[in-house]
């Protein structure tokens, strides 16, 4: 028998009781696996670079491709969450995207690899579903924490991928395969895991605590009515402020996930395994850092309201930008790792704070707001990718430019008034009364 059919007011991460907590755990696990498939190729790029004869410019294009498709996909997926429901949307996304993940090893040219990287990038839209699903499962008093923990644990897949994929690759090498075959076979494993979990997610989650969208539509046709949700989200300037903010934090996170192993390998002459472990440490901080951001944001929100959350986000972005600029100037691997951990903390906390604000922008369009803001993360990653593609800019210089850009975004966010939630809720309630 299920527990109460309304959003939970408390997050007990050790519980699996009720549809809310079961969905919470399954959604972060799904996002974790999606990250595994999305960035499984990143720690193997030194091998792939040699196998396919890739240039620095081509690697830059591949990095851009890995996040470019996600921009459109996140907006579309956000709308689907509002209309089709997160359960079916997540299951379909994982099932479909498992195909290019499993079959990327069939390519033998730069052009083919680029197209597959583009197709695999669609799976990055999984984040929007994760945040939507936790937003509807938890009460507004705790939603920032719930979103941050689910998102952070899912993002942890980026760090684990950097650590595990080189080991899987080494396992195939140990089994007698050549490097040119081992990286191809290694990608089959995350693809199969995604396919299996698509069925698990469909079977064991529900769209809302009260039931699936189709069940709610039968009992109350207006309960899941979300016509025009994308337009509602796009008309609000706060949505676009968060779009910029997420580009400056999560956009840089996925860019760093893509480039970190290669950066450490080439700049500090580490082995592939050590480079993967160092890069993985950055992602591993999602175990707690994003959650800390959500927890602090909920506490700040209760005391200072949405204005307080906005100022907190601006501060974290400013500290992140400064940290990245210092990281870029690191002359030793020790200094590089220490400064990486510092800016990673601010970056991941900013991720959590951003999505502690998202559910409050428009109650009628949570999915669409989440989709647009999520797409901002990928726009930021695409723009950063162009810097790493350039033959006239070193990786260190690119990080300095990124740090300056983030500081500018922090200034913009500091000027935005996020304290309009009450008006939106009143309008939504009036609309409900008019429709009833």
Query: Average pLDDT of 199-228?
Result: 77
Residue 65 maps to a domain: yes
* CA distances to 3, 74, 89, 96, 315 from 380, in Å: 40, 14, 25, 25, 19
pLDDT value at residue 259 = 84
Reading phi first (left if > 0) and then psi (alpha if -120 to 50, else beta), residue 211 is in: left
Cα 11 from Cα 13, distance rounded (Å):
6
Q: Give pLDDT, residue 221.
A: 55
Q: Indicate whether 3 belongs to any domain.
A: no
User: Lowest-pLDDT range, 183-192, 209-218, 315-324?
Assistant: 209-218
For residues 360-364, average pLDDT:
84
Q: Is the pTM above the cut of 0.75?
A: yes
Query: What range defines the domain where residue 170 resides?
Result: 18-435
Distance CA 274, CA 333 (A): 11
Q: What is the pLDDT of residue 2?
A: 46
Query: Sign (positive/negative) of CA torsion 206, 207, 209, 210?
Result: negative
CA distance 228 to 381: 28
* pLDDT in the model for residue 9: 87
Average pLDDT, the chain: 88
Q: Is the pLDDT of residue 186 over 80?
A: yes
Per-residue pLDDT band at 436 (split at 50, 70, 90): very low
Is 2 part of any domain? no
Residue 187: the pLDDT is 97
Among left, alpha and beta (phi > 0; psi -120 to 50; other), residue 176 is left
Helix, strand, coil percent values for the chain (each to nearest 5): 80, 0, 20
Residue 7 resides in a domain:
no
Q: Is the pLDDT of residue 49 over 90?
A: yes
Percent above pLDDT 70 for the chain: 92
Residue-wise pLDDT for 293-333, tens only, equals 999 999 999 999 999 999 999 999 999 999 999 999 988 99
Give the up-direction half-sphere exposure of residue 32: CA atoms within 13 A in the CB hemisphere: 19
CA distances from 212 to 171, 197, 207 (A): 42, 19, 5
Confidence of residue 220 (pLDDT cuts 50, 70, 90): low
pLDDT at 228: 58
If pLDDT is split at 50, 70 and 90, which confidence band does 431 have? very low
Is residue 9 situated within a structural domain?
no
On the 0-12 / 13-18 / 19+ scale of CB atoms within 10 A, 331 is exposed
User: Is residue 317 situated within a structural domain?
Assistant: yes
Burial class (CB in 10 A: 0-12, 13-18, 19+), 217: middle
pLDDT (average), residues 131-152: 91
CATH number of the domain to which 39 belongs? 1.20.1250.20
In a domain, 1, yes or no: no
Count structural domains, the chain. 1
pLDDT at 425 over 70: no
Going by pLDDT thresholds of 50, 70 and 90, the confidence category of residue 64 is confident
Indicate whether 256 pLDDT > 60: yes
Q: Is residue 109 part of a domain?
A: yes
Rounded-to-integer distance, Cα 146 and Cα 7, Å: 11
């Amino acid at each position: 028998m299920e527990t109460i059919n309304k959003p939970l007011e408390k997050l007990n991460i050790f519980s699996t009781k009720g549809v809310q907590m079961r969905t919470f755990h399954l959604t972060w696990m799904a996002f974790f696996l999606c990250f595994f498939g999305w960035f499984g190729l990143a720690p193997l790029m030194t091998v792939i670079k040699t196998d396919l004869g890739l240039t620095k410019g081509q690697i830059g294009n591949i990095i851009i491709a890995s996040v470019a498709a996600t921009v459109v996909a996140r907006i579309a997926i956000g709308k689907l969450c509002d209309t089709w429901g997160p359960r079916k949307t997540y299951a379909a996304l994982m099932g479909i995207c498992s195909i290019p993940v499993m079959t990327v090893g069939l390519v033998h040219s730069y052009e083919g690899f680029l197209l597959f990287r583009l197709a695999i990038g669609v799976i990055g839209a999984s984040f929007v579903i994760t945040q939507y699903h936790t937003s509807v499962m938890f009460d507004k008093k705790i939603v920032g924490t719930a979103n941050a923990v689910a998102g952070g644990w899912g993002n942890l897949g980026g760090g684990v991928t950097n650590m595990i994929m080189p080991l899987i690759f080494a396992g195939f090498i140990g089994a007698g395969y050549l490097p040119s075959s081992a990286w191809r076979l290694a990608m089959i494993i995350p693809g199969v895991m995604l396919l299996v979990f698509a069925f698990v997610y469909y079977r064991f989650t529900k769209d809302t605590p009260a039931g699936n969208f189709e069940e709610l539509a039968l009992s109350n046709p207006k309960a899941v009515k979300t016509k025009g949700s994308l337009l509602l989200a796009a008309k609000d300037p706060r949505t676009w402020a968060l779009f910029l903010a997420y580009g400056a934090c999560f956009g840089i996170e996925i860019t760093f996930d893509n480039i970190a192993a290669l950066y450490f390998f080439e700049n500090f002459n580490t082995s592939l395994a050590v480079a993967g472990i160092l890069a993985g440490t950055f992602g591993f901080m999602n175990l707690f850092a994003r959650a800390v951001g959500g927890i602090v944001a909920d506490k700040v929100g209760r005391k200072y309201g949405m204005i307080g959350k906005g100022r907190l986000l601006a501060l974290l972005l400013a500290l992140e930008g400064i940290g990245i600029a210092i990281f870029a100037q690191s002359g030793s691997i020790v200094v590089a790792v220490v400064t990486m951990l510092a800016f990673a903390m601010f970056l991941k906390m900013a991720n959590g704070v951003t999505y502690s604000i998202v559910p409050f922008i428009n109650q009628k369009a949570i999915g669409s707001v989440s989709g647009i803001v999520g797409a901002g993360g990928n726009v930021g990653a695409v723009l950063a990718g162009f810097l790493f593609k350039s033959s006239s800019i070193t990786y260190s210089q690119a990080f300095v430019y990124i740090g300056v850009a983030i500081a500018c975004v922090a200034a913009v966010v500091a000027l935005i008034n996020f304290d309009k939630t009450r008006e939106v809720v009143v309008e939504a309630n009036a609309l409900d009364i008019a429709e009833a």
